[in-house]
Amino acid sequence: MPSRPLIAVTRWIPDEAVKILAEAGEVRVSPADRPLGPGELREFTAGASAIVGMLHDRVDGALADAAGPGLRIVANVAVGHDNIDVPALAGRGVVVTNTPGVLTDATADLTFGLILSLTRRLGEGERLVRAREPWSFHLGFLLGSGLQGKTLGIVGLGQIGRAVARRAAAFGMRIVYTGRKPAPSEVESALAAEFVPFPELLAGADLVSLHCPLTAETRHLVDAAALRAMKPGAYLVNTTRGPVVDESALADALEAGEIAGAALDVFEREPSVEERLLARDDVVLTPHLGSATVETRTAMAVLAARNVVSVLAGNDPLTEVRP
């Protein structure tokens, strides 16, 4: 009787997804509650027909070769796939999939939570109360900035960017956006969003929210020059990928008063954070929580599992990433 395909899962995933994977093969889940090092990852995935990986797993041609000729699919439990060398895997006949769509609302909710925390100084207020610092209400106490009538600049009007725009509209904000090309006119009309070049967005937005993928072109998209181009009272929010922002340049800009504040859910050298940002009250920091709801993380893992089952059964993947 032939052995069942080996499915290597590089970190814990919800049981619902494991049960789906078990329909297609023998499931091996890493017992380590941490990212595997390169050598550990090669050893753990050796002989696998499928790899279910996380955004911290670097998957390239060398890893595919170490896994062996039986590797058929790498299912990334994330929307972004900058951790995977898609052309190298495609050249070896390995399918790559991701998990788009299912985390749109969770990430948009988190983005708006960061916006409110930043503009209304919620983190500062909570830290003050928890520290038992003396305080009393007065009209100048911890004043923040309202959102009504302000301009939100969205960099990347994909699914998550559009969901953020819908939430911003409910707060009475004006929406401008930029990207590689304008969105369809019906999308612009539905969101009351206006396409502008990146420099114009930086100069005019009261708040800049990043939702572009990480590519060679977008790495350090927000650098020292971009930060200087922003309005002095503007805020920056990043919930996409850390390296889109030059964190050292961001710290410089905040120290110089070039922008009013920043909120980051992702980091350039995650999980490390630029040291100068940690003590600043004008910075909100969260540990990559964009998709962190029970419902969303389960849906992501289930979609990855269904991609594996489909490919191992000889069918097309549900959400393939093409070179």
- Quick check: 17 and 300 in contact, CB under 8 A? no
Q: What is the DSSP string of 278-295?
A: HT-TTEEE-SS-TT-SHH
Which candidate in 194, 200, 270, 320 is catalytic? 270
Catalytic annotation on 270?
A: yes
What is the H or E stretch that residue 63 is in? helix 61-67
Nearest to 160 by CA among 229, 246, 100: 100
Contact between 202 and 177 (Cβ < 8 Å): no
- Catalytic residue, chosen from 72, 121, 211, 241, is 241
- 14: buried, middle or exposed (CB in 10 Å: 19+, 13-18, 0-12)? middle
Q: How many helices (H) and strands (E) does the chain have?
A: 13, 12
126 is a catalytic site residue: no
> For residues 156 and 176, what is the distance between their CA atoms, to the nearest angstrom?
11
| Geometric angle at alpha carbon 25, from 94 and 47, rounded to 5° | 50
Q: Which of 124, 167, 288, 320 is catalytic?
A: 288
Catalytic positions are: 241, 270, 288
